[in-house]
Structure 1
Amino acid sequence: MQNRGSGPVVRADIYVRISQDLTGDELGVQRQEEECRKLATQLGMEIRHVWVDNDLSATKKDVVRPDFEAMLQSKPEAIICWHTDRLIRVTRDLERVIDLGVNVHAVMAGHLDLSTPAGRAVARTVTAWATYEGEQKAERQKLANLQAARQGRPYTAGIRPFGYGDDHMTIIAEEAAAIVEGANMILAGESLSAVARKWTESGLQSPRSKVRGAKAWTLRGVKKVLTSPRYVGQSTYHGEVMGEAQWPPILDPEVHYGVVAILNNPERFSGGRRTGRTPGTLLAGIGQCGYDGCTDTVNGRGYRGVPVYGCAATHTRTPRSIADDRASKATLARLMFPDFLGQILESQNAQDGRSGAQLQSQAQELRERLDGLAVAYAEGTISLSQMTAGSAALQKKLEAIESELVSTAGIPPLDPVKGVAGLIEGWPSLPLPTKRAWVDFCCIVTLNPARGRHMSSMSVDDHVTIEWRDVSE
């Protein structure tokens, strides 16, 4: 023990750390600090500073301990810790502490005099055994986790997953409903931002964010939930699907893997075509470019703050409001012709309310999502097991739809009682895919280039050319 009257008082730094703080209340590091302060009093030392790394590992190479680094830079006169393994767990960190040339005092492990060769030798030996035990413990834990994953048991050491209770198996109804709604929003062409806002405004919190005091959902957090195999009842280990889980699923496989294909497709973030994503505009992929020699269809985009349609080569910049209004009115006008409506009603499948056009659209979406899974695997954003499981689920759904298509007439839905009057009245509130199916079934829409004219001087007919399709085709 240091003699208080033998010389200047040493000003020591206290360092405290725990690897996991599941509750976020920092009680563990507070207890360590109390014990370290008692030791400082016994040693006759003053406290210069207290350094705290809460909820941080000291063995992982990719984890930086901010306060540990700051303490080394501050050149302390001495260090007090609860136990030496709170301060140093691996040799690389020990050598950095040795370079300081100071004494280390531990509540539970005694004094390490790093200023002498003998003290440094003892410290290296203690750290070597600590490293060995840490590695052994990690290997045992890995084997235990792998075995649990293969048996479909949940990993319960961490914070509960969104949608499930503290046992990681019992479904929480409100959160599960939000997951289903979020997945359907992505399939309908909405963004991760929209889902994040929806969940946040509903007062739902990520369990991990709740512990850390955050309220709003992040895009990363939403994506992690919607793409996790856990929600289709799959047990995983390091991203690889290990088999069926013991907990109940929340999402249907075709819904989940459709979302995975959309969210993990690299083109989603590059401004390119979003594979598997439902078109968000009326004429995207339907309207044709009217430039001579161009065979492309158009897609929605912006031009000087105005939403427009244009082909890949930007031959045309037709205002969306003009094109959508013209195509909608032309479609409804075509349906008012008695011969057209009569032939539709005769050919409509009376046994199934779903139309061939709808089924074709669904089948195409599934094909694109299958492609999206393959692209995501090629880019390394999902594993082989995820792609295989997802492809099987989507392929099964695709086969069912293609089988159903055999007996349909290939037309959009129409209520035979309300007829065209009901369709006209309800047109503004129809789902976008239904509107698109009707427009494509009734009309050939061509969007014309300006050919040197100013946009404001062009009439509706200058912008848009409509040809009605023959129903017999």
Structure 2
Amino acid sequence: MTSSASLIPVVSYARISADIRRDSHGVKDQHKANRETAARYGWTVVHEFTDNDRSAAKFSVVRDDFESMLTALRAGRLADGTRIEGVVILAEDRLARRPGDYERFVEAFTFRDDRVFADQRGPKDLYSEDVESMGLFGAVISKMEVRKMQRRMRRSHRARAEEGRPVGGPRPFGWKDDRLTLEPREAELLAQAVKDFLSGRSLHSIVMDWQERGVKTARGNDWSVRSLKVALSSPRICGWREIAGELVRGPDGAPVQGLWEPVASSEQWAAVRAIFEGRKGHFVGRDMKVGRAHPADYRDHTYLLSGILRCGRRLPDGTMCNTPLRCNGPKDAGHHTYTCLSRAEGGCGGVSRRGDLVDMFVSEAVLAKLEEASSSSGPQDTEWPKAGELKDVEEQLDELTRQWNARQITNDFFFKLVPGLEQTINRLRGEKNKHEASIAAKAAQQETSASEVRRRWYLPEEEGGFPISVKRTYIRSAVHAVIMYPAGKGNKKFDPDLLDPVWRN
């Protein structure tokens, strides 16, 4: 009987591209087969490298354990010092599907002499040029097969999309396993999330609410801002389909309506998408222009007027400071304070005001504006003024295409004119989406009456009050900024006249 000390130490590598069941059964089965292969040849598996749910064909996918295995092969030992003298795999397509990866593996493997290698069919001598060439040729063939399969899948997805049929895969949140019928509870949550977001509520606030209520994704995971953004921005919610960032359209140019039940209207979806596209999570600079993007861990503001208040102190050169005020948290005074940044930080340090009183004044001013607008508002014109222009350009393109198909115009003439027309159509469609988004966003806000806004403004969030993100949306829609002028030295009584809202028209 062979002693364990005389067995050759090898590592097992397993990979699967898609772990649909999320139970790692595929890679576990591969490792089991690899251990049996090793035992047949008097080897022992001392470590298992696993890349579960990782494609080997995509250049953008990094296989962490594959890279770790290459490092260990070059070193001749694992991170804990265990010696390794070979590799066992199920099949070569589990190891590599791109020639470059196969070459890197052989280079690391042959970095040291006298190593062993085997797949389920038997051992192979990777030091032999013929064996290496055959393996490399196999990787090339595998890459070609992958590309053929990807092309077939793309054609299949396109055909299904044009017929309005859903594709396979895990069910999306809001629908049952057939991907056509709505799951009532989830669909209601998703529809409400669309309305809340259009009303100004932040994704983070919705996610926190869902997590507190125990709402999970279709795969049973906790919701995140990223996953909710993906769900809301998907055209599936209104019954449409998107491929490579473009809506799937029929011969008439209109989006193909899917066979599944929608949870929102196309106008609501367009409004959601326009908000995402329009803001892209950027900060607003002093000149009120869109600045740098929010960091990945950006969250809701803690205080109501952060970034909205501006310093109104006059500088020695006669210009206004205009620095966004910082909010300092409550200390001994028991309330927060809005303060201009110091000179070293780019401000003047000359303005500071009690935060709770400023919040109260600005809140009342905005609520009064909402009530005034509510009492004087009349029917709004929802007609997009450039609808006729878009129709004309689309008809020009249709007529040009008809003449080209009938061979009444040359290829050179046709392909010179088409790009310009298509560019104009795309621009006008973008403007139309923004217009519809603006109408939908206003309609979402108008669903809540001014008196209801006032009632919920001061309620705690757990009692139905507005999250701070919704309040900030109402304030942002009413004012460009609020200028805070200096009150002078010493403790003075709060003077609301030193706050100057810059109202939007």
**SS in structure 1 at match of 2:26:** helix
Residue 178 of structure 1 is aligned with which of 189, 194, 200?
A: 189
CA distance in 2, matches of 1:60, 1:329: 56
How far residue 401 of structure 1 moved from its aligned partner, in angstroms, is 11
CA distance in 2, matches of 1:330, 1:131: 65
Aligned to 1:144: 156
Structure 2 counterparts to residues 12-411 of structure 1, below 5 A: 12-75=10-73, 76-99=84-107, 100-101=109-110, 102-107=115-120, 109-156=121-168, 158-208=169-219, 210=220, 215-242=221-248, 243-244=255-256, 245-266=258-279, 268-272=281-285, 302-305=326-329, 306=336, 308=338, 319=354, 321-323=356-358, 325=360, 355-357=375-377, 391-392=431-432, 395-396=435-436
Using a 3 Å threshold, how does the CA distance of structure 1 residues 295 and 177 change in structure 2: closer, same or farther? Answer: farther
How far residue 25 of structure 1 moved from its aligned partner, in angstroms, is 0.8
Q: Is the 8 A contact 2:485 2:499 kept in 1?
A: no
**SS in structure 2 at match of 1:63:** coil
Q: Is the 8 A contact 1:289 1:295 kept in 2?
A: no
CA distance in 1, matches of 2:59, 2:482: 59
Q: Is the 8 A contact 2:339 2:353 kept in 1?
A: yes
Q: Is the 8 A contact 1:29 1:52 kept in 2?
A: yes
C-alpha offsets along residues 305-351 of structure 1, whole Å, 9 cap, x if unaligned? 335499xx999655454346557889999xxxxxxxxxx9xxx9xxx
How far residue 266 of structure 1 moved from its aligned partner, in angstroms, is 4.2
Q: Is the 8 A contact 1:53 1:67 kept in 2?
A: yes
TM-score (ref. length: structure 1):
0.67
CA distance in 1, matches of 2:146, 2:88: 22
How far residue 71 of structure 1 moved from its aligned partner, in angstroms, is 1.4
How far residue 449 of structure 1 moved from its aligned partner, in angstroms, is 1.9
Output the amino acid matched with 1:113. Answer: D
**SS in structure 2 at match of 1:460:** coil
**Unaligned stretches of 5+ residues in structure 2:** 74-83, 249-254, 291-300, 330-335, 341-346, 383-422, 443-447, 460-464
How far residue 219 of structure 1 moved from its aligned partner, in angstroms, is 1.5
Percent of pairs with identical residues: 24
Using a 3 Å threshold, how does the CA distance of structure 1 residues 79 and 181 change in structure 2: closer, same or farther? Answer: same
Aligned to 1:453: 489
Output the amino acid matched with 2:138. Answer: V
How far residue 127 of structure 1 moved from its aligned partner, in angstroms, is 2.1
CA distance in 2, matches of 1:85, 1:16: 10
Q: Is the 8 A contact 1:254 1:390 kept in 2?
A: no
How far residue 262 of structure 1 moved from its aligned partner, in angstroms, is 2.7
How far residue 184 of structure 1 moved from its aligned partner, in angstroms, is 2.6
CA distance in 2, matches of 1:79, 1:325: 70
**Unaligned stretches of 5+ residues in structure 1:** 334-343, 349-353, 364-382, 403-411, 416-421, 468-473
- Aligned pairs, how many? 397
**SS in structure 1 at match of 2:11:** strand
RMSD between aligned residues: 5.1
CA distance in 2, matches of 1:229, 1:395: 18
Q: Is the 8 A contact 2:102 2:139 kept in 1?
A: yes
C-alpha offsets along residues 67-99 of structure 1, whole Å, 9 cap, x if unaligned? 111112112422211111111212111112222
